[in-house]
Structure 1
Amino acid sequence: MSHAEQTVEDMRRKIQENWIWFLVLGIALVIGGLILIAAPLATSVAVTLLIAAVFFVGGLFQIYNAFKVQGWSGFLWNLVTGIVAVIGGIVIYVNPLVGTLALTLVIAAIFLAQGVTQILLALKIKPHEGWHWVAIAGAISLVAGGLIWFDLPGSAAWALGLIAGISVLMNGWSYIAIALAARASRHA
């Protein structure tokens, strides 16, 4: 048995031994995801505040790093980027609704770009089996981006929270699926 096969087997055994904890984690994440979906504005603002904190702290570290490696050719770029991140973090923290609107706009643009890219890819790989799934995924991204974009500024109240909630919910379902599969194979 190769090292990779042994690693996979060890992981499988650990999951089977601890399947109940995977199930508990999955259920907790599903409940958390449902809560996030139920309160999308609060979730959107919370996500925005978290991003503000990341910008602020990351910016401080970037400024510190710029001075730490001052002789480096990227000193000025690092310093300016750090200052902008700190200021951006403060601005978003002071007015999280404006930050939420800006982040929602970025997410809409990403979905639109991803949708177009996936549809073009689907058309490029069209003779291959399964190309239509790529096209469907692209169409869904395009529709989601359009819905968010055309509902601005109203979508700022629900988009980030809904996306975060769906992500957490799906994560929970994946852990539940892993736990149930491990339980079934343990008893087989």
Structure 2
Amino acid sequence: MAGPTTEGRKLSRSFGGLALLGALLAVAGLVGLVYTGVATLTSMILFGWLLLVGGLVGLLHAVQARGTAYFWLGVVVAALNIAAGVVVLKHPEGTAETLTMFAALLFLTGGVFRLVGSVVVRGPQFGWTLLQGAFGLLLGLLVLFDWPHSSLYVLGCFFSLALLFDGLGLIAIGVGGRRVVSLVTDQMTPEEDEK
């Protein structure tokens, strides 16, 4: 039977692996921020493959559900995913332009709603909501005024920032988890370790 110290070492290694994965994601995010055009194209190709694979899996699931009410709905959704995946893989630049326009419109509408909502409600978070609304509106306008050129870097920048912050979060969890495990195992007495 494994003792607490042995389990602590295994747990510490697991947290170390999590920190290593976080470091790899953070490095990928930094590289993506340097090469945003490549990151945009890569994210579009990944998106296309995810749609394609998701469509194929959905089609297999629909075939397994033959004879149920789900079958035709599953086939239609799977076919749409497969078709969208093929289009994204054939035209990643056009997809990036479309998604960048969509992101700009989301920022604009979100910013306007936050601005108007903060002025109308004037709640306890008035200043922060107003600032968020102004930032969203400004970001949407910046992306929109530079469109379609902005499609070369906006999505890659967002994708890279997401990788960077996810990586930093995993590093923090891994390092913090290792510290907690070492504190707990250091506090254990030899009698507890032998049980």
TM bucket (normalised to shorter chain) is 0.7 to 0.9
User: Aligned in 2, Cα 1:68/1:136: closer, same or farther, shift over 3 Å?
Assistant: same
Greater CA drift, 48-57 or 72-81: 72-81
Counterpart-to-counterpart distance in 2, 1:64 and 1:27: 36
Q: Deviations over 1:56-106 (max 9, x none)?
A: 111122222333323333433332221121111112112211122222222
The corresponding residue for 1:3 is none
Question: What do you get for the CA RMSD once the two structures are aligned?
Answer: 3.0
Aligned positions, number: 173
1:141 aligns with 2:99: no
Q: In the alignment, which residue of structure 1 is the partner of 2:149?
A: 154
State, as a whole percentage, how many aligned pairs show the same letter.
24
CA distance in 2 between counterparts of 1:84 and 1:153 reads 26
Whole-Å separation in 1 of the counterparts to 2:158 and 2:49: 20
Q: Unaligned regions of 5+ residues in structure 2, if any?
A: 1-7, 184-195
* 2: CA distance, partners of 1:101 / 1:140: 22
Alignment of 1:1-188 (within 5 A): 24-128=20-124, 130-177=125-172
Q: CA deviation at 1:148?
A: 1.7
> Residue type matched to 2:109 in 1?
A
The residue type equivalent to 2:142 in the other structure is L
1:112 to 1:76, Cα distance in 2 relative to 1, 3 A = farther
* Higher Rg: 2
Query: How far, CA to CA, are the matches of 1:121 and 1:177 in structure 2?
Result: 35
Q: Specify the code of the residue in structure 1 equivalent to 2:160.
A: G
CA-CA distance at 1:42 after TM superposition: 0.7
| Aligned partner letter, 1:126 | R
What amino acid maps onto 1:137 in structure 2? Q
The CA distance in 2 between the partners of 1:108 and 1:177, in whole Å, is 32
Rate the CA distance shift 1:21–1:85 in 2: closer, same or farther, 3 A. Answer: closer
Greater mean deviation of Cα atoms: 116-125 or 81-90: 116-125
Pair 1:26–1:86, CA change in 2 (3 A): closer
Partner in structure 1 of residue 192 of structure 2: none
Give TM-score, length-normalised by structure 1.
0.74
State the Cα distance separating 1:184 from its structure 2 match: 8.2
Amino acid at match of 1:69: A
User: Are residues 136 and 76 of structure 1, via their aligned partners in 2, closer, same or farther at CA, if it must alter by over 3 Å?
Assistant: same
Deviates more, 1:172-181 or 1:100-109: 172-181
SS in 1 for 2:66: coil
